[in-house]
Amino acid sequence: MIAVEDVEIRAVLEYALQSTQSHIPKLTALFNKENFPIPHGFSEDEDVDIDCPRLFSDSYYLRFLLRQSNIGLNTCGTVLALSVRSDVINFYTGCLMETTKLLTTTTEVLLSKGLYVRSPNIPMPKNVEFVKEKSFLAGFFGEVRPLSALEITNLYSNTQRNALGAETLIGYSQVAQHPKVKEYFH
């Protein structure tokens, strides 16, 4: 059972869990077909202590799913573009559709709850501009040029990713203080 208080957020997490769990038999079949050893993955019985206090807020879970779905879209798209086997193409096509739904749903819930941090707006240009100076790429020396839309987008994305990473590390540092974890590492 997912420890979430908000009903809408719970539904998004349950979709993500169900979607991920549905991959296991498909991947197992692909691995078995190729005589590839089945990896030993995460296990609730081995890796979860249900007596530990909750580490993260409901809104954290949504922001985490947003970031993971962004990564998933990049990964699935890349693998799909490089795949030639129909079974692998079919698997990743399904993953891409599921990940797109997860991204869309997560974004909608974040927006409805006022939790979505929008990227910076750039004023609409009045006309087309072309790079005229050869020094455009060397903007650190001489006259400083404004950031491009792509540079702003990357800075925004990195800031969001780093903030979530910091929040995750704070949560994990609390786990490190748990008596069972201390016992394991000493």
Q: Could you tell me if residue 151 is inside a domain?
A: yes
CB count, 10 Å around CB of 109?
20
Question: Cα 94 from chain centroid?
Answer: 17
Residue type, 147: L
To the question of pTM greater than 0.85 for the whole model, the response is no
Q: Is 85 in a helix, a strand, or coil?
A: coil
**Under 8 Å between Cβ of 100 and 73:** yes
Q: Could you tell me if residue 8 is inside a domain?
A: yes
Q: Could you tell me if residue 113 is inside a domain?
A: yes
Which residues, other chains included, contact 168 with Cβ-Cβ below 8 Å and sequence gap of 6+? 64
- Domain span at residue 180? 147-186
Q: Could you tell me if residue 138 is inside a domain?
A: no
Q: Are residues 17 and 63 in the same domain?
A: yes
Q: Are residues 12 and 76 in the same domain?
A: yes
Q: Are residues 90 and 1 in the same domain?
A: yes
Q: Which residue, among 138, 29, 25, 115, has the nearest Cα to 66 in the 3D structure?
A: 115
> Cα(121)–Cα(43) distance, rounded to whole angstroms?
43
Q: Could you tell me if residue 46 is inside a domain?
A: no
pLDDT (tens digit, 0 to 9) for every residue of the chain, 186 residues total? 567 899 999 999 999 999 999 999 999 999 999 999 999 888 888 877 777 778 899 999 999 999 999 999 999 999 999 999 999 999 999 999 999 999 999 999 999 999 998 888 888 889 998 877 766 666 566 667 778 889 899 999 999 999 999 999 988 888 777 766 666 555
Q: Could you tell me if residue 133 is inside a domain?
A: no
DSSP state of 131: -
Count of the separate structural domains present in the chain:
2
Q: Is 69 in a helix, a strand, or coil?
A: helix
Q: Are residues 100 and 13 in the same domain?
A: yes
Please work out, in degrees rounded to the nearest 5, the angle formed at the alpha carbon of residue 133 by the alpha carbons of 127 and 135.
Answer: 130
Which residues, other chains included, contact 92 with Cβ-Cβ below 8 Å and sequence gap of 6+? 76, 79, 80, 83
Q: Could you tell me if residue 126 is inside a domain?
A: no
